[in-house]
Amino acid sequence: MSSPGVDGNGYSWTGTEFHVLSRRLTHPSQRRDTEPVLSSEDLKDVEKGPPNSYGSFNLRDCLTSSNEANKAVGIQPKHVGVTWEDLQVVVPAGKDHKTYIRTFDLHILQNGLTLVRSVRRFFSRNPPAQDGGAKTILNKCSGLAKPGEMILVLGCPGSGCTTLLKAIANQRDEYSSVHGEVCYGGTDAVEMGKTRKDETVYNQDDDTHIATLTVAQTLAFVLSTKTPGPKGGHPKISGQDSDIQAQEMLLRMLNMSHVSDTLIGDEFVRGISGGERKRVSIAEMMSTGAPVQCWDNPTRGLDASTALDCVKSLRTMTDMLGQTTFVTLYQAGEGIYDLFDRVLVLDEGRQIYLGPPSQARLYFEELGFKSLPRQPTVDYLTGCTDPNERQLCRGRSIADVPSTPEALEQAFRESELGFNLRKELEDYKVSTKEYQEASRRAVLLEKNSRVSKKGPYTLGYARQVMALARRQFQMRLQDRFQLVTSFSLSVILAIIIGAAFFDQKSTSNGAFTRTSVIFITMLTSCLDAFGELSIQVGGRGVLHKQTSYSLYRPSALALGNALSDLPFSVVRVLVYDVIIYFMVNLRRSGDAFWTFHLFNYMVFLSIQGIFRTVGFFFSSYDAAFRLGAFLVTSLVLSTGYLIPVHQMKKWQFWTFYLNPMAYAFSGLMENEYSELNLTCDGSYVVPRNGFNVSKYSSSLGPNQVCTLLGARPGSNTTPGRSYLLTAFDMDGGDIWRRNFIVLLGWMLFYQVTQILILDFFPRHAGSTFFRLFAKETSETRKLNDRLRERKASRLQARTADNVNPEIIATRSDVTASSDRGVFTWEGVSYHVPVSYGTQQLLSNVYGYVKPGTLTALMGASGAGKTTCLDVLAKRKNIGTVRGDILVDGHLTGPDFARSTAYAEQMDVHEGTATVREAMRFSAYLRQPFDVPKEEKNAYVEEMIEFLELHDFADAIVHNLGTEARKRLTIGVELASKPGLLLFLDEPTSGLDAPSAQNLIRVLRRLADQGQAILCTVHQPSSLLFESFDRLLLLENGGHTVYFGDIGPDSCVVREYFARYGAVCPQGANIAEYVLDAIGAGMAPRIGHRDWKDIWLDSPEFQLVKEEIRELKRSAASGQSKTAPTYATPFLYQLTVVTKRTFVTLRRSPDYIFTRLFLHLSTSLFVSLVFFRLGRSQRDLQYRMFSIFWVTVLPSLLLNQVLPVFMANRGIFVWEFSRGMYSPEVFAIAQMLGELPYCILCATVYWIIMIFVQGFGQGSAGLGGTGLQLVVIIFVELFGVSLGQLVAAITPSVQVGILLDPFIMVILEIFCGVIIPYADLAHTSGWRVWVYQLNPFTRLLSAMLSTELHGLQIRCKPGEFAVFNPPPGQSCATWANDFVNAFGGYLENPSDAQACRYCQYKVGEEYIVPLNMFYENRWRDAWIIFAFFGLNFVSTIAASRFLRYTKR
């Protein structure tokens, strides 16, 4: 064993401490002077956390000692080089390589045509024609990357950089086809994908994480799945210890130890900053230890210093571990560029250079492209592929310079570099054979015991499941709000159900309600599982990323979910069952209760398995919701409660045997009734006393009969087993021999289906490698033609005259303003609440922005730059802000939000809008109302041209790439024509170098015209940095380091830092240097004093305060201006927002089609179950059940509307913070947009219900069913408004969905069907109030009274109550008094025996006891509409006061 390494502070690091990070040995590589040196010096502020107790360390030294230690114990290296030949990638494309977004009407038409074509193809012998087309996005290219090499891939957005990385990483599922040969150390892509998938990983541009896990938990999970086996790790260190050590080193290496216990967070959950989230993604992929790593823009969102440190870490790990690393970067300084071994340049999918970085600039200069002074090489190389940015050398022209992608590709192939590349490729392919077997042996050593040698996983399946179970348990436990909400709602609902059915008696009157409470108890616990659809569909991104890293088999997640959920669901369902069971007074027996709980919990797990299976199988929530909602209908109808199995139609009864709920219901019923005897009483005795009739026996006499099914003649009690057999065709002996076994089988079956779907039918989130466009109108066609003409003319002018790009960017003054205010802030501090008290994020910040100036805000990642912008822009709604933020010396007014523009990091837009529509929407609502619409439209076209969005003007926002979406975010803010100030948070992040340069030129031009701009920048080049007038520099903790002028050639900033010992080297980028000087990265700061203390003691700070006082004095002489909060009046806002809502819904065909499908399928399924109803007593009850099923529609609508409303609310919060429109407008527009589809879906449901079931046979006739259409429309409006109300008052989809069963079960229990009105009327208090204030009560009353009014009832033979009159009396003599009092009729009044009594003669006799009256039908209908109005008004109020956004 080698001796331990010693760092600069004298701290000794054993060689084994970091062996787990390397995982493999590699030969020592040449030491570079670029490795990061981590330091804990001066980590006293809150953001950086406490000083690191380990001291500083050198990553290269650590890995060197680790390698030596691994050699000593015989751990083998794993080196995998990559070669690719004629690699070509093809994707599907529409006509002219454009794919147009489908609208709802076209979606319906296309589905109809698809059905017709399918039928024609079935009967046709001709093969089907191939639709659509294909587009090559990566043309044939070849190259190699050896172990220990880093390849920098450059190109403009859309040039194929991401595609190349995915192809190299062997992630090809989203492409139509991938041609050519890619080999990994001699192993082809097919074998690599099957057995060694874990050796090629891809890190995507976006950061996808579980928001409710901490940083440490996220990394611990990844490391636990990559713990090597006993032969692949050090024998003296356990796997758990090595994981802990690796985690600590990753956190320290990326300077994240201070946030290890902080939630990662997302747009809804507060967590770490965007830059820190990016570093978590980097650490996560580093943890995989894969020998081939592809990084897609890993430095996006990081400051220059941190970005350099991260790339240095990649360089060091590549050297020491022998990795092969591919990296795409949009912006990079020379320090980063020099770290790479090769650079690859792409232009529209064509490889135009692959060679040494040192020769790249010279190569393109020799081709004839001009290099600007101090222009970074990355900017220059990327600019050579951009016709709008590149310039030709003096004396060169387009005639002798290759300017098209094809010409550049051909020039490289014919160059000496191209020849050398082909020769090197052939030579390397021969040499890879010697590495291939060694790499295979290393892979086998790394695997744990009981792990397939042919699979890509390090851990065995059982350990994968346990790791996932721990993670999922942590995730659920830390989502406290949802956890508390679910338990609270479950307990409250159990109490309400128990109180509603309180203390059931063992009588015939209690048989129906006892059965109802058993069914409701089972149904409610099962409906709780419906929320699994959104959870599983929403977690698709994390699952895809982690399985692509080969951390675990996809199916392990299914078992991990099941195990982690058990502790929570067992307790919740047990408490729920205990409350209901004993409040209702179900059979008091220990074995009966535990059997009840067992069956109820097993059916919950079965239904949960069904919905998880559906969620895993479909790639979108709408598709999953369609099947899930249909399954709810079929499962409930075939349970045996509404229709016993022996009464089901022939086509339906098989659904009973495929329904887990049917077996659970049978088991629960058999458990309850097998040992129960029911006493006959009340309305079940025929004939009986009542309504001034007293001639009959008060108990069951010899001339009376008990009508309870299963009753025995002459007996006052009915055995429960007899009741079960007669009423439900259930046998008490089946509870264990059939129901339990089959239910257990279904539970296991759906667990197996989850495993099979995840492993063999994976569904990942849709790819956005192609763009969607809206079809052109006559107006947009003219505008697009004009944009293309102007683009072509500019390009022609540039080509002809080689004009400087800054001259080209100059246009007419469209944003000049002579009346702009001065923005100042003094002593601004910001504190936020945390678990241990408060935390300071900004400390005593001073500054100002004058009209006509461009101010840069810089600092390390996590230093508080975004926080500072949020505070200054008045976007914070939590925490405490101290200090003065003034405009012209006055406090900001209500119009401040719309007078400023704030382009934030997160690109939040309406996804179905086009680029032009999004910018017009901003212009219409934020520019003054008196500005003509034509002028606003013209200004939007100017902004489209400014931001070079010509080709995307009609592109759908949802499918835009990161770079185009960022430009759109800026364009939306510029379209508002801010009168006061423009804030921009990292506007150049995610942009390539030419786009960043062009954007800064646009900002510079706006500033020159009088606009005040405050902008955060992360990685500016020297040229970009000099475009700014002033710099506000922050260090960790939100402390000011410098605020003042930059000066020509940054002379003012250079002089300030040089005065205190930080002399910027000649030729260095001052923007990067000042960050290094203050210790923004992992290197220690320059100097002995903290730079914030230097600033506070500096004369510059005093000058800034004096300047602010002078600005306030001069500005305060004018009058304070007052202006309304919004730029446009209420009705105009409502018109514009409602129009967008209509367009959004029309372009969301899946959402509307899902609703239409649910209404059509539900109505059809229910109508087929109750097909062609007659006039019998049983048909009478079936009519009620059919109408009762309309009450299910609001539940389905709530679940569908809720996530859509919440997504729209997220967009509204962004737009409201900019003063676009009011909350009232948002809520009203959301409802107005839904109206046409509510009417459409209600009409479809009504048509099928009326004509298939045969409604309209009563006195009201078929014309009377029009009222039922009105009622269904009102119910539809009620359901949609209720869904929007629930969404408005809850913070997340998961919590909102929990309210669905809670609300619906209460409404359905107390509507007078499940608990008959007679039972409710005999009680007092809250149950009667709930009945009267229940919209479902009015629904049933209006529809059922209309349907049964005047309907003549004729009982079928099996429906009569048969009894014998006393000797000497006829049936009429004995029973006429009873019939006259209670209704119904005698079939054989003159007979002296076997009297046949039918309970109902006309429909009124059925509905009047239920408190339903035909004359009240319109009153009841309008009461339902009033409930809709109440929901609507409540939604408006909730939208105004509840937004659940914490910033």
> pLDDT (tens digit, 9 = 90+) per residue, 1125-1146?
888 999 999 999 999 999 999 9
Nearest to 704 by CA among 33, 1296, 228, 1363: 1363
Q: Among 261-275, 715-729, 958-972, 1385-1399, which stretch is predicted with the lowest mean pLDDT?
A: 261-275
Confidence class for position 201, pLDDT limits 50, 70, 90: very high
Rounded CA separation 1099/19 (Å): 51
Pairing of strands 82-93, 177-184: antiparallel
Return d(Cα 18, Cα 439) in angstroms, integer. Answer: 21
Residue 861 has pLDDT above 50, yes or no: yes
**Greater model confidence, 12 or 380:** 380
**pLDDT 10s digits, 441-499:** 655 555 555 666 677 888 888 999 999 999 999 988 888 888 898 899 999 999 999 99
Is residue 650 a contact partner of residue 637, using CB atoms and an 8 Å limit? no
Under DSSP, the state recorded for 952 is G
Q: How far apart are CA 321 and CA 289, in angstroms?
A: 9
Segment 1028-1085, tens digit of pLDDT: 999 999 988 889 999 999 988 889 999 999 998 888 888 788 888 888 888 876 667 8
pLDDT of 818 reads 44
Mean pLDDT of all residues in 1181-1194: 92
Q: 1114 falls in which pLDDT band (50, 70, 90)?
A: confident
Please check whether residue 826 is in contact with residue 892, taking contact to mean a CB–CB distance below 8 angstroms: no
Rounded to whole angstroms, how far apart are CA atoms 1210 and 878?
Answer: 17
The tokens for 22 are 């390397």
Length, in residues, of the chain = 1447
The whole-angstrom separation of Cα 1373 and Cα 1143 is 71
State which H helix or E strand residue 945 sits in: helix 933-946
Report residue 713's pLDDT band, with 50, 70 and 90 as the boundaries.
Answer: confident
Is pLDDT above 50 for 807? no
pLDDT for residue 58:
61
Q: And the tokens for 707? A: 């009508």
pLDDT at 692 over 90: no
Q: Residue 1424 and residue 1431: Cα distance in Å, rounded?
A: 11
1402/820: higher pLDDT: 1402
**Average pLDDT, stretch 535-541?**
83
Check: CB of residue 96 under 8 Å from CB of residue 1142: no
pLDDT of residue 1120: 56
State how far the Cα of 639 lies from the Cα of 749, in Å rounded to an integer.
19
Distance between CA atoms of 739 and 292, rounded to whole angstroms?
Answer: 53
Kindly tell me the number of DSSP H helices and DSSP E strands found in the chain.
54, 33
> Dihedral sign, CA of 1197, 1203, 1207, 1213?
positive
Q: What is the mean pLDDT of residues 929-952?
A: 89
- Flag whether pLDDT at 3 surpasses 50: no
The 3-class SS string of 341-389 reads CEEEEEECCEEEEEECHHHHHHHHHHHCECCCCCCCHHHHHHHCCCCCC
DSSP letter for 124, please.
Answer: -
What type of residue is 1043? F
DSSP letter, residue 1050: G
Distance CA 212, CA 272 (A): 11
pLDDT mean over 1360-1384: 92
Read off the DSSP letter of residue 1395: E
815-830 burial, b for 16+ CB within 10 Å, e for fewer?
Answer: beeeebbbbbbbebbb
10 Å CB burial of residue 372 (0-12, 13-18, 19+) is: middle
Q: Compute the Cα dihedral for 729, 732, 736, 737 and give only its sign.
A: negative
Indicate the pairing of strand 99-100 with strand 1395-1398. unpaired
587-605 per-position pLDDT tens digit = 999 999 999 999 999 999 9
Q: How confident is the model at residue 8 (pLDDT cuts 50, 70, 90)?
A: very low
Between 657 and 15, residue with greater pLDDT: 657
Q: Which of 245-249, 423-427, 500-504, 829-833 is least confident?
A: 245-249
Looking up tokens 């259930």 gives 730
Q: Tell me: pLDDT of 735 over 70.
A: yes
pLDDT tier, 118 (very low <50, low <70, confident <90, very high otherwise): low
Nearest C-alpha neighbor of 1281 from the set 1182, 1425, 1416, 1141: 1425
In the predicted model, what is the mean pLDDT of the chain? 83
User: Which DSSP state fits 893?
Assistant: -
Of 880, 902, 899, whose CA–CA distance to 890 is shortest? 899
Q: Is the pLDDT of residue 573 over 60?
A: yes
Task: Judge whether residue 639 has pLDDT over 70.
Answer: yes
**CA distance linking residue 1038 with residue 1011, whole number of Å:** 26
687 prior amide bond cis, ω within 30: yes
In which region does residue 900 sit, left (phi positive, over 0), alpha (psi from -120 to 50) or beta (all else)?
Answer: beta
- How far apart (Å, rounded) are the C-alpha atoms in residues 205 and 215? 19
Which pLDDT does position 787 carry in this prediction? 84
Average pLDDT over residues 293-309: 84
Higher pLDDT, 667 or 211: 667
* CA 1230 to chain CA mean position, Å: 20
**What per-residue confidence (pLDDT) applies to 9?**
32
96 in the Ramachandran plot: left (φ > 0), alpha (ψ -120 to 50) or beta? left
1322/1295: higher pLDDT: 1295
What is the pLDDT at residue 1297? 86
Region of poorest pLDDT, from 678-682, 956-960, 1113-1117: 1113-1117
If DSSP codes are grouped into helix, strand and coil, which group holds residue 202?
Answer: strand
Sheet holding 350-355, edge to edge: 200-203, 292-296, 324-328, 150-154, 342-347, 350-355
Residue 507: DSSP 8-state: B
- In this prediction, residue 49 carries a pLDDT of 39
Which of 44-53, 113-122, 756-765, 800-809 bottoms out in mean pLDDT, i.e. has the lowest? 44-53
Phi, psi angle pair for 15, to nearest 5° = -65, -20
